[in-house]
Amino acid sequence: MSVELILKEKIKKAFAKLGIEIDSEAIVIECSKDKSHGDYATNAALKFSSLLKKNPRESASLIVEQIETSGLDKIEIAGPGFINFFVKKDSLVSVISKIINDGIAYGNGENKNNRINVEFVSANPTGDLHLGHARNAAIGDSLARILKKAGNDVTREYYLNDAGNQIDNLALSIEARYQELFGRDVTIGDNMYHGADIIEIAKHIKKLHGDKFLDNKNALKFFKTFGMDEELKKINKDLELFRVKFDVYSYETKVRANDAVLKEIDFLKNHTYKDGDAIVLRTTDFVDDKDRVIVKSNGEYTYFLPDIVYHVNKLSRGFDSLIDVLGADHHGYINRMKSALMMHGYKEDVLDIELIQMVRIFQNGEEVKLSKRTGNTITLRELCEEVGVDAVRYFFVARSASAHLDFNIDLAREQSNSNPVYYAQYAYARLTSVLEQAKDIPLDQSGSLLKESAEMDLVKVLVDYPNVIQDAANKKEPAIITNYIQKLATSVHSFYTACRIIDKDNITLTSNRLALSEAARIVMNNALDLIGVNAPNKM
Partner RNA sequence: GCCCUCGUAGCUCAGUUGGAUAGAGCAACGGCCUUCUAAGCCGUAGGUCAGGCGUUCGAAUCGCCUCGAGGGUACCA
Interactions with RNA, residue window 180-219 (CB under 7 A): none
Residue 332 binds to RNA (criterion: CB under 7 A):
yes
Q: Is residue 5 near RNA by the rule CB under 7 A?
A: no
Total residues at the site for RNA (CB under 7 A)?
87
Query: Sign of the C-alpha dihedral, residues 238, 240, 244, 247?
Result: positive
Query: Which residues have a Cβ under 8 Å from the Cβ of 421 and sit 6 or more positions away?
Result: 390, 391, 394, 395, 533
- 93/452 Cα distance (integer angstroms): 12
Residue 32 contacts RNA per CB under 7 A? yes
Q: What is the H or E stretch that residue 520 is in? A: helix 507-530
- Whichever of 329 and 386 has its CB closer to RNA, that residue is 329
Please, what is the minimum distance in Å from the beta carbon of residue 514 to RNA? 9
With respect to RNA, which residue has the nearer C-beta, 56 or 532?
56
How many CB atoms within 10 Å of residue 312? 19
Judged by CB under 7 A, does residue 66 bind RNA? no
382-389: which pairs have CB atoms within 8 A and are 24 or more residues apart?
383/131, 383/134, 384/238, 384/241, 384/242, 386/413, 387/412, 387/413, 388/412, 389/241, 389/242, 389/243, 389/532, 389/534
**DSSP string covering 290-345:** S-EEEE-TTSPBPTHHHHHHHHHHHHHTT-SEEEEEEEGGGTTHHHHHHHHHHHTT
Which secondary-structure segment (H or E) carries 155? Answer: strand 153-160
Stretch that binds RNA, among 72-80, 149-157, 221-229, 382-390 (CB under 7 A): 72-80
Q: Does 496 bind RNA (CB under 7 A)?
A: yes
Phi and psi dihedrals of 381, rounded to 5? Answer: -65, -45
Q: CB-wise, 217 or 439, nearer to RNA?
A: 439
Q: x/- binding map, residues 373-412, to RNA, per CB under 7 A?
A: -------------------------xxx-xxxxx------
Q: Where do the H-state alpha helices sit in 374-506?
A: 380-387, 389-398, 409-413, 420-437, 453-475, 479-498
Q: Is the Cβ of residue 60 or residue 219 nearer to RNA in the bound state? A: 60
DSSP string of 56-68? HHHHHHHHHHH--
Among 142, 161, 339, 511, binds RNA (CB under 7 A): 161
Return the number of the residue (124 or 179) whose C-beta is nearest RNA: 124
Residue length of the chain? 539
Minimum separation from the CB atom of position 179 to RNA (A) = 26
Least Å distance, CB 293 to RNA, is: 4
The CB-of-206 to RNA minimum distance in angstroms stands at: 30
Closest to 158 (Cα-Cα) out of 244, 263, 58, 92: 244
Q: Using CB under 7 A, pick the residue from 330, 381, 413, 476 that binds RNA.
A: 330
Q: Does 453 bind RNA (CB under 7 A)?
A: no
Is residue 61 at the binding interface for RNA, with CB under 7 A as the rule?
no
**Least gap, CB of 296 to RNA (angstroms):** 3
Which H helix or E strand runs over 375?
A: none
Q: Please answer whether residues 64 and 50 qualify as being in contact, where contact means their C-beta atoms are separated by less than 8 angstroms.
A: no
Distance from the first to the final alpha carbon of the chain: 36
Contact status, residue 139 vs residue 393, Cβ threshold 8 Å:
no
User: What's the closest the beta carbon of residue 13 comes to RNA, in angstroms?
Assistant: 20
Residues from 288 through 307 that contact RNA (CB under 7 A): 289-290, 293, 296-298, 300, 302-304
- The reply to whether 358 sits near RNA by the rule CB under 7 A is yes
Q: 302 vs 446, which CB is nearer to RNA?
A: 302
Binds RNA (CB under 7 A): choice among 155, 179, 250, 432: 432
Q: Does residue 25 bind RNA (CB under 7 A)?
A: yes
Instruction: Give the residue, chosen from 160, 309, 501, 531, that forms a contact with RNA under the rule CB under 7 A.
Output: 501
Per rule CB under 7 A, is residue 33 in the interface with RNA? yes
CA dihedral 109, 111, 114, 116 (to 10 degrees): 50
- Hey, which residues between 242 and 281 contact RNA (CB under 7 A)? 275-278
Contacts 24+ apart (CB under 8 A), 264-267: 264/305, 264/308, 264/309, 264/312, 265/294, 265/295, 265/305, 267/344
Q: Does 461 participate in binding RNA (rule CB under 7 A)?
A: no
Q: How far is the CB of 216 from RNA (least distance, A)?
A: 27
Q: Which of 258, 364, 371, 416 binds RNA (CB under 7 A)?
A: 416
372 binds RNA (CB under 7 A): no
Nearer to RNA, 166 or 250 (CB): 166
Residue from the set 59, 91, 117, 124 that interacts with RNA by CB under 7 A: 124
Using the Cα atoms of residue 472, residue 518, residue 538 and residue 434 in order, give the sign of their dihedral: positive
Say whether residue 56 binds RNA (CB under 7 A): yes
Q: Of 76-84, 98-106, 444-452, 524-532, which segment contacts RNA by CB under 7 A?
A: 76-84
Stretch touching RNA by CB under 7 A, among 77-85, 103-111, 134-142, 205-213:
77-85
Residues 509-538 that bind RNA (CB under 7 A): 537-538
Q: Does 37 sit near RNA (CB under 7 A)? A: yes
CB 77, min distance to RNA, A: 9
Q: Which is nearer to RNA, 18 or 78 (CB)?
A: 78
The binder of RNA chosen from 236, 284, 490, 525 (CB under 7 A): 490
Q: Does 486 bind RNA (CB under 7 A)?
A: yes
Query: How many C-beta atoms surround the C-beta of residue 318 within 10 A?
Result: 9
Q: What is the DSSP string of 101-149?
A: HHGGGTTPPPP---EEEEE-----SSS--BHHHHHHHHHHHHHHHHHHH
Nearer to RNA, 32 or 94 (CB): 32
